[in-house]
Chains A and B, each alone.
Chain A
């Protein structure tokens, strides 16, 4: 019977430790934007519906961006982006799933220059990428800023021949994610 209680204790404590997991951080405020200079009208859009999570235990990071939530000031351009470039009905999300290479602490204020290596999926095409970003831990919380470029050809995004305003072959993307402890 004593043995039995030990088993129960192990079972309960392991469940508790799972419940009390405090290693997962989730994004609150997010912004993903891109910019491409074009002769007639600059092409830029902002998305505030992205979701990102970081697991401190294994330094894993994931990002999920709903393509249709990119807001352009010109709504026809937005449609054009969704229908002709991203085919967002077929590929509604862009994702990144990777591991942060350098150590960092969320509890100690400071600025960390980090890189993450993983799979970036856009337009249904996977690319292994190492992205670098700046993590600031301070009074305002935890902020991760990343800038990277996307080569349209890498992701089989074709530029239509007959277009009014051509987008560049390379798109500069900036992301800002604020993280806080995930509440269950």
Chain B
């Protein structure tokens, strides 16, 4: 009995003390926290990242790839010739975006959609990874001889983009990929090609990072003259733009072009200098407190 009394007397004041620590009451120790900025842009370099543009935000992306460095001094290490891709990307919601692009290389048009399915978070609703689905269609429009039908010039891409941010500085992504080309240029190539992208971002300072990306095509699907795509970039972000300065062995910037039809080889010096500049515009209404 005495013990009970002592217990009651001792426990009640401590209970009051606990109630008095207001900051502790304001703290939800198990709060769900979303991982921010796994990658800076919607691309790692050539390939898509798990990121989407925000709701009612539009990204205008200007990309250039210069000719190969091993062209030598006469062509100023490839800078004399360039190919470009202009693209617009728009966020329908914070998780769904659509895009359209036009490449000068093969006069290619590409259309795509990206859907964020999972977002890495900690706390009550912890999710270890971010998952985004990508689907794209591309159409070549350059004049070929013999002429090909629209269907023969088409290709389709499906990707699952799976990424995890390990702490503040490091993000890694793996991207299982399926590409279907209606009519491959090399007739012994398979129409259906399976590949996987591996990409990463290492933050160096608050606003710059180094990215790497490798697209591995599983063997016995495409001709030996095609190489796997490997790229490195240096990203700078300024609050309105993301600049990516990059080196890659691929001239094209659409999945069919850089995953299944890269003919440059790093070891031979077939390296293209290039850049992506993305500028974000917001069409969202001002967020007003109600």
Interface string of B224-240 (1 = CB under 8 A from A): 00000000000011111
Report the interface size class on chain B: 35 or more
Which residues of the partner chain B approach A55 to less than 8 Å between Cβ atoms? 20, 22
Q: Give which listed residue, A79, A88, A90, A182, contacts B40 with CB less than 8 A.
A: A79
Q: Chain B residue with minimal CB distance to A7?
A: B5
Asked if A14 contacts B289 (CB within 8 A), the reply is no
Interface: B285 (CB within 8 A): yes
Asked if B280 contacts A74 (CB within 8 A), the reply is yes
Cα–Cα distance between A78 and B282 once the two chains are bound (Å): 11
Q: Known: A60-B22, A83-B36, A84-B239. Contact between A78 and B54, CB under 8 A?
A: yes
Asked if B33 contacts A83 (CB within 8 A), the reply is no
Interface: A153 (CB within 8 A): no
Cα–Cα distance between A31 and B288 once the two chains are bound (Å): 9
Q: Known: A12-B8, A73-B56, A163-B238. Contact between A66 and B31, CB under 8 A?
A: yes
Which residue, of A15, A73, A90, has the highest number of chain B Cβ atoms within 10 A? A73
Interface size on A (CB < 8 Å)? 62
Within 8 A of A (CB), among B37-80: 37, 40, 53-57
Which residues of the partner chain A approach B54 to less than 8 Å between Cβ atoms? 73-76, 78
Asked if A164 contacts B238 (CB within 8 A), the reply is yes
Asked if A45 contacts B207 (CB within 8 A), the reply is no
* Shortest distance from the beta carbon of B96 to any chain A beta carbon, whole Å: 14
Asked if B239 contacts A8 (CB within 8 A), the reply is no
Cα–Cα distance between A84 and B237 once the two chains are bound (Å): 10
Q: Chain A residue with minimal CB distance to B20?
A: A55
Interface string of B182-216 (1 = CB under 8 A from A): 00000000000000000000000011000000000
Which residues of the partner chain A approach B280 to less than 8 Å between Cβ atoms? 74-77
Q: Known: A68-B36, A89-B168, A174-B289. Contact between A62 and B22, CB under 8 A?
A: yes
Cα–Cα distance between A164 and B57 once the two chains are bound (Å): 17
Which residues of the partner chain B approach A4 to less than 8 Å between Cβ atoms? 1-2, 5
Interface: B11 (CB within 8 A): yes
Asked if A64 contacts B27 (CB within 8 A), the reply is yes
Q: Chain A residue with minimal CB distance to B278?
A: A76
Asked if A176 contacts B289 (CB within 8 A), the reply is yes
* Shortest distance from the beta carbon of A160 to any chain B beta carbon, whole Å: 6
Which residues of the partner chain A approach B36 to less than 8 Å between Cβ atoms? 68, 79, 82-83, 88-89
Which residues of the partner chain A approach B287 to less than 8 Å between Cβ atoms? 33, 44-46, 71-73
Q: Give which listed residue, A14, A51, A163, contacts B239 with CB less than 8 A.
A: A163
Main secondary structure of the interface of A (DSSP, over half): mixed
Asked if B240 contacts A77 (CB within 8 A), the reply is yes
Asked if B22 contacts A76 (CB within 8 A), the reply is no
Asked if B25 contacts A24 (CB within 8 A), the reply is yes
Cα–Cα distance between A74 and B284 once the two chains are bound (Å): 8
* Shortest distance from the beta carbon of B278 to any chain A beta carbon, whole Å: 8
Q: Known: A53-B26, A87-B206. Contact between A76 and B284, CB under 8 A?
A: no
Asked if B57 contacts A51 (CB within 8 A), the reply is no
Which residues of the partner chain A approach B286 to less than 8 Å between Cβ atoms? 44, 73
Interface: B153 (CB within 8 A): no
Asked if A62 contacts B20 (CB within 8 A), the reply is no
Interface: A127 (CB within 8 A): no
Q: Give which listed residue, B5, B239, B288, contacts A76 with CB less than 8 A.
A: B239
Cα–Cα distance between A8 and B286 once the two chains are bound (Å): 60
Cα–Cα distance between A88 and B54 once the two chains are bound (Å): 19
Which residues of the partner chain A approach B241 to less than 8 Å between Cβ atoms? 164
Asked if B27 contacts A11 (CB within 8 A), the reply is no
Cα–Cα distance between A46 and B288 once the two chains are bound (Å): 7
Given contacts A14-B13, A54-B22, A83-B207, 12 further A-B contacts (CB under 8 A): A8-B8, A11-B7, A19-B15, A44-B287, A46-B288, A46-B289, A53-B22, A73-B284, A73-B286, A84-B237, A87-B206, A165-B240
- A selection of 29 A-B contacts at a CB cut-off of 8 Å is A7-B9, A8-B4, A11-B8, A14-B12, A31-B289, A40-B240, A46-B287, A46-B288, A46-B289, A52-B26, A55-B20, A62-B23, A62-B25, A71-B287, A73-B282, A74-B54, A74-B280, A75-B54, A75-B91, A79-B37, A80-B238, A83-B207, A89-B36, A97-B22, A160-B207, A164-B238, A164-B240, A165-B239, A176-B289
- Interfacial residues, chain A to chain B (CB-CB below 8 A): 4, 7-8, 10-12, 14-15, 18-19, 21, 24, 26, 31, 33, 40-41, 44-46, 51-55, 57-58, 60-64, 66, 68, 71-80, 82-84, 87-90, 92, 95, 97, 160, 162-165, 174, 176, 182
